[in-house]
Amino acid sequence: MTSLLVVIVLVLLAVAIWQLTKIFDLTQVSLDSDDSQVANDDDNNVQGYLMFGFLAFIYIFTIYGVYTWGHLVLHTPASDHGATIDRLMNITWVLIFTVQAITQVLLHYFAFKYRGNKDKRALYFADNNKLEAIWSVIPAVVLAGLILYGLYAWTNIMFIDEDDDTVVIELYAQQFKWTARYAGADNVLGKANVRLIEGVNTLGVDLSDPYAQDDIVVSELHIPKGKKIHFKMRSQDVLHSAYFPYFRAQMNCVPGMVTEFAFTPIYTTAEYQALPYMVEKVANINAIRAKKSLELVAKGEPGLDPYTFEYLLLCNKICGSSHYNMQMKVVVDTPEDYKKWLSEKTNLVAEVKASKAEPAAPDASSAKDTTVAKDTAAVAKIAMK
Amino acid sequence: MSAEGHDHGHDHEHEHHHKDTFITKYIFSIDHKMIAKQYLLTGIIMGVIGVSMSLLFRMQLAWPEESFKIFNVLLGDKFAPNGVMANDIYLALVTIHGTIMVFFVLTAGLSGTFSNLLIPLQIGARDMASGFMNMISYWLFFLSSVIMICSLFVEAGPASAGWTIYPPLSALPQAIPGSGLGMTLWLVSMAIFIASSLMGSLNYVVTVINLRTKGMSMTRMPLTIWAFFVTAIIGIVSFPVLLSAALLLIFDRSFGTSFFLSDIYIAGEVLHYQGGSPVLFEHLFWFLGHPEVYIVILPALGITSEIIATNSRKPIFGYRAMIMSIIAIAFLSTIVWGHHMFISGMNPFLGSVFTFTTLLIAIPSAVKAFNYITTLWKGNLQMNPAMLFSIGLVSTFITGGLTGIILGDSTLDINVHDTYFVVAHFHLVMGISALYGMFAGVYHWYPKMFGRMLNKNLGYVHFWVTAVCAYGVFFPMHFIGLAGLPRRYYTNTNFPLFDDLQNVNVLITTFALIGGAFQLVFLYNFFVSIFYGKKAVQNPWKSNTLEWTTPVEHIHGNWPGEIPHVHRWPYDYSNPGHEEDFVPQTVPMKEGEVVLHH
């Protein structure tokens, strides 16, 4: 309701300004010649000063922004290659801020300094090859540097050496949830195709494939610190994008093909939670949530839970109605904890056998996440209409 | 003399004929000036719809799942029960906002209006090469607009797969309700739109090549014409590819082919599709999609070049370099599309190639920006509203363009791809900049279109509020993008991680609402001035180009007598050899006057 009031106030404000300009126009009645709507020297003066004011606005807004929102920006990458990306990012930012600062000053200062005056005449200056060569060559050289660094980093990140000692994990995307499949002791994923989806085998794994015998399917991703994780992504329905913001990692999941990304986590979840910046961020978020909770409780609704930081896998490619809630918790364990966690999981072949042994049992995997199931069902229902 | 007399009689006859039938003068007109006005009017109407949509979903983002009466009024009980916006309609609004703004406002509305108005007038032609095709082009555009608007009223909702309509989401009604009839209408509308755009572009190219008046060599053309000409060529090269993508998608949707689909399990069953790839669609889409942003921005830059030179009372700095950079941008624009697909699953080697070509575009863009700034240096700046919008364009083009260095670099794109950082970048560099170009063009050529002046004080208010709000909306957006917030999320409340971004979202929406409301100032000025604006003189801005040698009252054929001949380049402002600070292109060279090497 308050927002509606805000809108009404804005509209009234607009009306007021329109009235003001009308009055302003009426005061200029004596100048009712044909060129009264062309800028005169008074206009040039006022607008020139406003240009200078706008320059100040851009600068102050930028400084204010960096000061107030700077802490929101992701930092301290949780992966090995993240530092490279962040370094390149910082170099680029220095460049951008320098160019931005200089060009905006020149643009708006010139607009102010050379504001028109009917007694003045502009300089007839049409060309200068030297100047133009300078500002073609300088960007070219600077960009060449950025391109070289960028390509070097890109090659290191994206080309995955198959011989490396990696942990192979499949990320499986569907509307609107993630599932992970571990390759097991042989570190090779069994073949899979959506045509083989049946019952608990929700990923369509080919159970007759020898490599598939030790595959493990889970709905919460655990990865060991300090080991390179080789993700192979699949999607069963539409495009999704596996986005791990804290690991500086992202790759689309495409139905009909397998995509890849690899990174090495360097902080366990507990270590990352304890980073001073993260402690501060979480405290800030919890203060916001506590305030919101009070409002909710006053309205008779349940309050919000306090927040603790967890790594998340988000979907970052529009994938349907509940795109905004497609997430999976990611836990980085110490290698020992990871081994222990994995050893407690039963493999898919055993799960399938168990489900066949007791056919009356409800479909375990679909009951796991009721909200997701509901969403999918709703979409299906609308579609059928 | 006899030719002149003949022309005159011919024109007179035409005019007489047109006065008789309202329909041929105002509706099925083949006069390029009337068609330009039709494009502009349709573009403005579509713009109001597109911008209003963005305000609605911005309200949802600032105050998620709160109840607003206006949602219920505008979206109905199905999509906004109790005034709370539903998640499906949120995606639909985002999709249609993007489609309308990119294609209907900034392609047809901007290019259609000013190419039609200015090409014949500035090169000295009586009309477009084919007036009839021009008329068909407008009416196809009108038809496609109508179909797009109709798609909003489909029961399951309009297309909601994002303006990039990536399959399988856009192909399967099981995946999202908007991919039913809504998406069919979207595709039909776009197919017609492309036909319209191609007819227009062909006409522009042919007209520029063939119908220039005597003396109007290619290097005496105003930069507006260069921009429209090159834009039309990009359109001819790339739009057919989008048409083919749309047709193949229609085949996949309706006739069971598998161009873009493979191995899909949805709503509890396996679909028959096998062997296609959504990545193919992405390639086809962005082969148009990326040149499209230059189709949007180049005409705006052309308009800006003309307005900055006129209002600085100075020649545009580096005329030949400006032409070269337009051509360079056009060429590079067709080989950079892959930077939208760094993490699409295509071979990373291609990512390296596209990073290289993409960052190259920064060079001609930098040349253009520096040349504008140098044009202002030691000028005698006439601060008309059109000039303010042009300076504003240079400002946002730089601010938005610089972040392109981050997004064009595949390594950096990994983490900011599809976040709000991208939204901030492209809105500044092509959305706001192109809109400024369009506004600048309207303020500058309004006297040419309607024979009356726009009120300058309303223009000043319009510019300053818009300028502050544009930065107010898109500058903070960079930060929430760098915080890792994905775009196209209906709400962030499911991620406590993003709770500290909420007050930024409220600020952005507040600026958006203020900026949106102040566009009413422009609309008022525009529509009221058509009837009550001050009468315009023939050459109000003391400009050199040919359009200002035509009479204020429109006549069919543009010039009552012979078409004027051109003797010089269009940027002889403040030439020391002349008394006045402008020398129209029709003024013959003085004896011994030196021709600059432009």
How remote is the C-alpha of A352 from its chain's centroid? 37
Instruction: Give domain status of residue A342, yes or no.
Output: yes
Same domain, residue pair A348 and A273: yes
Chain B: residue whose CA lies nearest to A314: B486
Nearest to B169 among A3, A245, A318 (CB): A318
Question: What local confidence, expressed as pLDDT, does residue A301 receive?
Answer: 87
Residue type, A242: A
Quick check: B22 pLDDT over 70?
Answer: yes
Instruction: Give domain status of residue A242, yes or no.
Output: yes
Quick check: A376 pLDDT over 80?
Answer: no
Nearest to B489 among A34, A259, A324 (CB): A324
Contacts of B445 (CB under 8 A, 6+ apart): B114, B117, B118, B547
Which residue, B366, B404, B373, B368, is CA-closest to B391? B373
As a whole number, mean pLDDT of residues A195-222 equals 92
Quick check: A372 pLDDT over 60?
Answer: no
The pair phi, psi for residue A331, each rounded to 5°, is -120, 125
Burial of B275 by CB count in 10 Å (0-12 exposed, 13-18 middle, 19+ buried)?
exposed
Q: What angle, 0 to 180 degrees and rounded to 10, lies between the N-to-C axes of helices B278-312 and B113-123? A: 50
Q: Where are the domains of chain B?
A: 2-549
Instruction: Check residues B189 and A300 and name the one with the higher pLDDT.
Output: B189
Same domain, residue pair A63 and A210: no
Domain membership of residue A285 as a residue range: 166-359
Is the Cα torsion angle B187, B192, B196, B199 positive or negative in sign?
A: positive
Banded pLDDT at A358 (limits 50, 70, 90) = confident
Instruction: Give domain status of residue A29, yes or no.
Output: no
Mean pLDDT score of chain A: 87
Quick check: B108 pLDDT over 80?
Answer: yes
DSSP per position, A275-306: SHHHHHHHHHHHHHHHHHHHHHHHTTS--PPP
Instruction: Give domain status of residue A16, yes or no.
Output: no
pLDDT tens per residue, range A93-114: 999 999 999 999 999 999 999 9
What token pair was written down for B418?
A: 């599809």
Work out whether strand A327-333 and strand A249-253 pair parallel, antiparallel, or are unpaired: unpaired
Instruction: Check residues B426 and A185 and name the one with the higher pLDDT.
Output: B426
B6: distance to nearest CA of chain A, Å? 33
Banded pLDDT at A24 (limits 50, 70, 90) = low
Nearest to A114 among B276, B381, B484 (CB): B381
As a whole number, mean pLDDT of residues B218-229 equals 96
What token pair was written down for B199?
A: 């007819």
As a whole number, mean pLDDT of residues B41-50 equals 96
Question: What local confidence, expressed as pLDDT, does residue A355 receive?
Answer: 87
Question: What local confidence, expressed as pLDDT, does residue A16 receive?
Answer: 77
Question: What local confidence, expressed as pLDDT, does residue A35 receive?
Answer: 76
Banded pLDDT at B4 (limits 50, 70, 90) = very low
Quick check: B6 pLDDT over 70?
Answer: no
Please judge whether B457 and A24 are an interchain contact, meaning their C-beta atoms are less than 8 angstroms apart. Answer: yes
Question: What local confidence, expressed as pLDDT, does residue A160 receive?
Answer: 85
As a whole number, mean pLDDT of residues A209-220 equals 93
Question: What local confidence, expressed as pLDDT, does residue A385 receive?
Answer: 40
Quick check: A378 pLDDT over 90?
Answer: no
pLDDT tens per residue, range B344-380: 999 999 999 999 999 999 999 999 999 999 999 999 9
Please judge whether B168 and A237 are an interchain contact, meaning their C-beta atoms are less than 8 angstroms apart. Answer: yes
Query: What CA–CA distance (Å, rounded) separates A31 from B45?
Result: 34
Chain B: residue whose CA lies nearest to A84: B411
Please judge whether B535 and A121 are an interchain contact, meaning their C-beta atoms are less than 8 angstroms apart. Answer: no
Percent of chain B with pLDDT over 90: 89
Question: What local confidence, expressed as pLDDT, does residue B262 receive?
Answer: 93
H/E stretch holding A71: none
Quick check: A122 pLDDT over 70?
Answer: yes
Q: How far is CA B489 from CA A378, B198, B400, in A?
A: 19, 35, 23
Nearest to B379 among A61, A122, A324 (CB): A122
Quick check: B514 pLDDT over 70?
Answer: yes
Question: What local confidence, expressed as pLDDT, does residue B584 receive?
Answer: 94
Please judge whether B383 and A47 are an interchain contact, meaning their C-beta atoms are less than 8 angstroms apart. Answer: yes
When the candidates are 3.40.50.150, 1.20.210.10, 3.40.50.620, 1.10.1040.10, the CATH number that belongs to B2-549 is: 1.20.210.10
DSSP B489: -
Peptide bond connecting B168 to the previous residue in cis, omega within 30 degrees of 0:
yes
Quick check: A231 pLDDT over 80?
Answer: yes
Same domain, residue pair A153 and A229: no
Please judge whether B504 and A131 are an interchain contact, meaning their C-beta atoms are less than 8 angstroms apart. Answer: no
A343: distance to nearest CA of chain B, Å? 30
Instruction: Give domain status of residue A12, yes or no.
Output: no
Strand partners, A217: A181
As a whole number, mean pLDDT of residues B417-445 equals 96
As a whole number, mean pLDDT of residues B260-280 equals 93
Peptide bond connecting B57 to the previous residue in cis, omega within 30 degrees of 0:
no
B120: distance to nearest CA of chain A, Å? 25
Same domain, residue pair A177 and A221: yes
Nearest to B411 among A117, A120, A150 (CB): A150
Same domain, residue pair A153 and A226: no
| Owner of token pair 């834009």 | B231
Question: What local confidence, expressed as pLDDT, does residue A135 receive?
Answer: 87
CA angle B151, B155, B156 (to 5 degrees): 90
- Out of A11-25, A331-345, B495-509, which region has the weakest mean confidence (pLDDT)? A11-25
As a whole number, mean pLDDT of residues A219-226 equals 94
Query: What CA–CA distance (Å, rounded) separates B75 from B84?
Result: 10
Please judge whether B496 and A122 are an interchain contact, meaning their C-beta atoms are less than 8 angstroms apart. Answer: no
pLDDT tens per residue, range A28-78: 554 445 678 899 999 999 999 999 999 999 999 999 999 999 999 998 999
What token pair was written down for A161?
A: 């050496």
Question: What local confidence, expressed as pLDDT, does residue A27 receive?
Answer: 57
Banded pLDDT at B19 (limits 50, 70, 90) = low
Same domain, residue pair A76 and A155: yes
Please judge whether B173 and A289 are an interchain contact, meaning their C-beta atoms are less than 8 angstroms apart. Answer: no
Contacts of A236 (CB under 8 A, 6+ apart): A172, A173, A174, A194, A197, A203, A204, A255, B263, B264, B265, B266
Residue type, A287: A
Is residue A254 within 8 Å of residue B279, measured between CB atoms?
A: yes
Quick check: B8 pLDDT over 90?
Answer: no
Query: What CA–CA distance (Å, rounded) separates B168 from A192?
Result: 20
Same domain, residue pair A284 and A153: no
Please judge whether B489 and A157 are an interchain contact, meaning their C-beta atoms are less than 8 angstroms apart. Answer: no
Question: What local confidence, expressed as pLDDT, does residue B594 receive?
Answer: 77
Banded pLDDT at A303 (limits 50, 70, 90) = confident
A223: distance to nearest CA of chain B, Å? 20
| Owner of token pair 């290019």 | B111
As a whole number, mean pLDDT of residues A80-84 equals 94
Instruction: Give domain status of residue A373, yes or no.
Output: no
Banded pLDDT at A382 (limits 50, 70, 90) = very low
Which residue, A158, A312, A187, is CA-closest to A242? A312
Banded pLDDT at B115 (limits 50, 70, 90) = very high
Please judge whether A312 and B419 are an interchain contact, meaning their C-beta atoms are less than 8 angstroms apart. Answer: no
Question: What local confidence, expressed as pLDDT, does residue A377 receive?
Answer: 46
Please judge whether A34 and B535 are an interchain contact, meaning their C-beta atoms are less than 8 angstroms apart. Answer: yes
Banded pLDDT at B28 (limits 50, 70, 90) = confident
Same domain, residue pair A219 and A332: yes
pLDDT tens per residue, range B535-589: 999 999 999 999 999 999 888 889 998 999 999 999 999 998 898 899 999 999 9
As a whole number, mean pLDDT of residues A226-239 equals 95
| Owner of token pair 């060079």 | B363
Same domain, residue pair A143 and A278: no
Question: What local confidence, expressed as pLDDT, does residue B3 receive?
Answer: 40
Question: What local confidence, expressed as pLDDT, does residue B598 receive?
Answer: 54
Instruction: Give domain status of residue A17, yes or no.
Output: no
Report the residue of B66, B166, B387, B411 to disrupt the A interface, i.e. the one with the largest count of A CBs within 10 Å. B411
DSSP A205: B
B271: distance to nearest CA of chain A, Å? 9
Quick check: B486 pLDDT over 70?
Answer: yes
Domain count, chain A: 2
Instruction: Give domain status of residue A33, yes or no.
Output: no
As a whole number, mean pLDDT of residues A354-374 equals 56
Q: What is the CATH number of the domain that holds A238?
A: 2.60.40.420
Same domain, residue pair A170 and A95: no
Residues of A in contact with B347 (CB under 8 A): none
Please judge whether B366 and A125 are an interchain contact, meaning their C-beta atoms are less than 8 angstroms apart. Answer: no
Burial of B122 by CB count in 10 Å (0-12 exposed, 13-18 middle, 19+ buried)?
buried
Quick check: B7 pLDDT over 90?
Answer: no
Quick check: A243 pLDDT over 90?
Answer: yes
Mean pLDDT score of chain B: 92
Quick check: B313 pLDDT over 50?
Answer: yes
Q: Please state the length of chain B.
A: 598
